[in-house]
Amino acid sequence: MDPTEKAVYLTFDDGPIPGITPWVLDVLDRSGIKATFFMVGDNVCKYPDTFRMVVERGHRIGNHTFNHIRGFGFSTRSYLENTDKANETMKTDLFRPPHGRMRWGQYHLLRKHYKIVMWDLVTRDYSKRVNKEQVFEIVKKYTRNGSIITFHDSLKAEKNIKYALPRSIEWLKEQGYAFKLL
């Protein structure tokens, strides 16, 4: 991302989840923001209506494997099969590895088919060790030009994201950041 441009990229991992993802979409709609959702294939299959809602509202979709698996815990072949299974439903050219880690061979093969998108700011909204105010403070402390900010539209993050996301968007706008789509 261009480090001289005063813009950020909002991303959401682990959805779609009914109740959480629609709420996130409503917040984004009210703010006129488009984001990228890195989705778990199993969730897409379980909640196709929620998946369609994200697509129909003009957001970008990324692959986050079918079962949210760690690259180091699986052979390259198994990891790629899991990723391909997820993409059968999503049909995307973006990929983000769960937990931000994968083997070199997995990365080498996946980058032939996907643009691999990491982040520079993970809000930790999913963590039980971080409260909602701290999530917001993380955004304020670590955002910089070109930041790819990662929230989670998951049940683990529900309490924190419902507090921190609207406040983060408001603060980012006050700081003059534009919101761009990957």
Each residue's pLDDT tens digit, 112-163: 999 999 999 999 999 999 999 999 999 999 999 999 999 999 999 999 999 9
Does pLDDT of 49 surpass 90? yes
Amino acid of residue 66: F
Task: Give the per-residue pLDDT at 48.
Answer: 98
Task: Give the per-residue pLDDT at 79.
Answer: 96
Task: Give the per-residue pLDDT at 98.
Answer: 96
Task: Give the per-residue pLDDT at 3.
Answer: 72
Does pLDDT of 54 surpass 90? yes
Question: What's the CA gap between 99 and 4, in Å, rounded?
Answer: 28
Mean per-residue pLDDT for 9-32?
Answer: 97
The contacts found for 174-179 with CB under 8 angstroms, 24 or more apart, are 175/143, 176/6, 177/6, 177/7, 177/8, 177/143, 178/5, 178/6, 178/7, 178/8, 179/7, 179/8, 179/9, 179/10, 179/31, 179/33, 179/34, 179/35
Task: Give the per-residue pLDDT at 165.
Answer: 98
pLDDT confidence bin for 5, thresholds 50/70/90: confident
pLDDT digits (tens, 9 = 90+) for 55-110: 999 999 999 999 999 999 999 999 999 999 999 999 999 999 999 999 999 999 99
Task: Give the per-residue pLDDT at 177.
Answer: 97
Task: Give the per-residue pLDDT at 143.
Answer: 96
- The set of residues, in sequence order, having a beta carbon less than 8 Å from that of 181 and lying 6+ positions away, is 9, 34, 35, 36, 59, 60
Please report the domains of the chain, with CATH numbers, ordered by start residue.
Answer: 7-179 (3.20.20.370)
pTM over 0.85: yes
What are the residue numbers of the active site? 13, 152
Question: What's the CA gap between 130 and 177, in Å, rounded?
Answer: 25
Question: What's the CA gap between 155 and 18, in Å, rounded?
Answer: 9
Structure tokens at 7: 């813009």
- Residue with the bigger pLDDT between 161 and 4: it is 161
Task: Give the per-residue pLDDT at 155.
Answer: 94
pLDDT confidence bin for 4, thresholds 50/70/90: confident
